[in-house]
Amino acid sequence: MHRQPDTDLLYRHPELYEVVYDGDNHAVPRLAETIFTERLGRQPASLLDIGCGTGRDLEYLAKHIPDVAGVDHQQVMIDYARQRRGQIDFHVGDMRTLRLHRTFEAITCFGYALANVHANRDIDKAVATFAAHSAPGTLLILEVIDPLRTDKLPRSFTIDIPDLRADAIAEYRQHHAQQLLERRRTWRRAQGLVHDHVTFRLLYPKELEYYLDNHHFDILGAHELREKHNAASAFVVARYRDNTAPEEPP
Report how far residue 116's alpha carbon sits from residue 162's, in angstroms, rounded to the nearest whole number.
31
Report how far residue 208's alpha carbon sits from residue 223's, in angstroms, rounded to the nearest whole number.
15
- The pLDDT score that the predictor gives to residue 234 is 97
Report how far residue 195's alpha carbon sits from residue 175's, in angstroms, rounded to the nearest whole number.
20
Q: Evaluate whether residue 107 is within a structural domain.
A: yes
Query: Averaged over 69-88, what is the pLDDT?
Result: 95
pLDDT surpassing 60 at residue 3 = no
| Residue 127, domain extent | 9-146+203-240
**Co-location of 130 and 185 in the same domain:** no
If one counts the domains in the chain, the total is 2
**Co-location of 60 and 87 in the same domain:** yes
- The pLDDT score that the predictor gives to residue 31 is 97
- Measured at the CA of 162, the angle between CA 156 and CA 165, to 5 degrees, comes to 30
pLDDT surpassing 50 at residue 4 = no
**Co-location of 161 and 85 in the same domain:** no
Q: Which own/partner pairs from 123-129 qualify as long-range (CB within 8 Å, at least 24 positions apart)? A: 123/201, 123/203, 123/211, 124/211, 124/214, 124/215, 125/96, 125/97, 126/95, 126/96, 127/211, 127/212, 127/214, 127/215, 127/217, 128/215, 129/50, 129/95, 129/96, 129/97, 129/98, 129/99
Report how far residue 211's alpha carbon sits from residue 199's, in angstroms, rounded to the nearest whole number.
21
**Co-location of 174 and 125 in the same domain:** no
Percentage of the chain beyond pLDDT 90 is: 77
Q: Evaluate whether residue 4 is within a structural domain.
A: no
**Co-location of 175 and 58 in the same domain:** no
pLDDT surpassing 90 at residue 18 = no
- The pLDDT score that the predictor gives to residue 243 is 74
Paired strand residues for 144: 234
Q: Evaluate whether residue 2 is within a structural domain.
A: no
Percentage of the chain beyond pLDDT 70 is: 93
**Co-location of 158 and 134 in the same domain:** no
**Co-location of 32 and 134 in the same domain:** yes
pLDDT surpassing 90 at residue 108 = yes
Contacts of 151 (CB under 8 A, 6+ apart): 232
The whole-chain average pLDDT of the chain stands at: 92
Q: Evaluate whether residue 91 is within a structural domain.
A: yes
Q: Evaluate whether residue 209 is within a structural domain.
A: yes
**Co-location of 16 and 52 in the same domain:** yes
**Co-location of 41 and 118 in the same domain:** yes
pLDDT tens per residue, range 117-160: 999 999 999 999 999 999 999 999 999 999 999 999 999 998 88
**Co-location of 138 and 42 in the same domain:** yes
Q: Evaluate whether residue 3 is within a structural domain.
A: no
Answer yes or no: are the C-beta atoms of 141 and 106 closer than 8 Å: yes
pLDDT surpassing 70 at residue 9 = no
- The pLDDT score that the predictor gives to residue 5 is 44
Domain of 93, CATH number, reads: 3.40.50.150
- The pLDDT score that the predictor gives to residue 7 is 61
Q: Evaluate whether residue 73 is within a structural domain.
A: yes
Report how far residue 89's alpha carbon sits from residue 67's, in angstroms, rounded to the nearest whole number.
9
**Co-location of 27 and 129 in the same domain:** yes
Q: Evaluate whether residue 1 is within a structural domain.
A: no
**Co-location of 62 and 140 in the same domain:** yes
Min mean pLDDT across 14-18, 90-94, 170-174, 179-183 is at 14-18
